[in-house]
Amino acid sequence: MIKQYFLLISFLLITQFCYSQNNEQFHQLNNSKNWSLKFKDDGTENWKTKWFLDGLRAQVKNTKEGMVFSAGKIERNDSCHAVLWTKKSFKGTIKIEYNYTRKDSTTKWVNILYIQATGIGKTPYTTNISKWNDLRKVPAMSTYYKNMKTLHISYAAYGSKNTDAKNDYIRVRQYPVLEGQNFNTSTEINPAYFNTDLFIPNETYKITVIKTNTHLYFNVAGKNNSKLFTWKLPKNKVEEGRIGLRHMFTRSAQYYNFKVYTQKQSSIL
């Protein structure tokens, strides 16, 4: 019993130390003067100027409060998925910032942020994904995780049979799926985080994502709380590509003041 107690205390101390260290690193990076703004869209003007869209039934509407992006309304219909891509591509260490407001109240399905996406380089899935837009008119998930190289952050996310609004998760994956394996066995980067108390419908959150050579940071700041989530990245690096916003069927959100930065100088981080 005493041994178990000391093991628990040791685990908690190590966890707290790691969190404090990651928090310090994130804030140091976030406040660095080494960032150069490469992309900016407040979401109030014509989205087609800076983005392109996958999905036959997706809708994008610009408002004074930002860009409202909605997937189709039919569950389990792949044509109702939706992905919005930046026309620009970004290389190296990057920072992504935006205000996110959920416009749905579902307890199922997923929002995804794709970071630096390219095709796998095999015909017809060339590295420039805009060259095979037609293959993504129906944006089935498998088309992406089999044929793209990218990082994926699921957030405001729920299981397909979930009914509990508090039972959300945040998870990171790296594509493509390894040959001979499947999506669930080969793409996840641990840890996953559950029951975050974030992403309440119609409440705005400031999201800040920083991806370095070695780590991924995902900071979410709402009016009542702020939380940082971190992952150590694999050696098989994602280094360059477009940013994508994915909504699975029925999901909808508003995006405001979307910015992407790259580093002015190279970094060892």
The distance in angstroms from the start CA to the end CA of the chain is 41
| % of the chain exceeding 70 in pLDDT | 91
Q: Give pLDDT tens digits for 91-118.
A: 999 999 999 999 999 999 999 999 999 9
Q: Which of 206, 145, 153 is nearest to 181 (CA)?
A: 145
Assigned architecture for domain 35-263: Sandwich (2.60)
Per the listing, tokens 């009542």 go with 224
Provide the pLDDT for residue 212: 97
Q: Give pLDDT tens digits for 40-50.
A: 999 999 999 99
Provide the pLDDT for residue 182: 84
Phi/psi for 78 (5° steps) reads -60, -25
Q: Which of 156, 154, 87, 151 is nearest to 114 (CA)?
A: 151
Evaluate if residue 11 carries a pLDDT over 50. no
pTM: 0.92
How far apart CA 88 and CA 225 sit, in angstroms, is: 32
How far apart CA 109 and CA 27 sit, in angstroms, is: 31
Instruction: Kindly list the domain boundaries of the chain, sorted by start residue.
Output: 1-31, 35-263
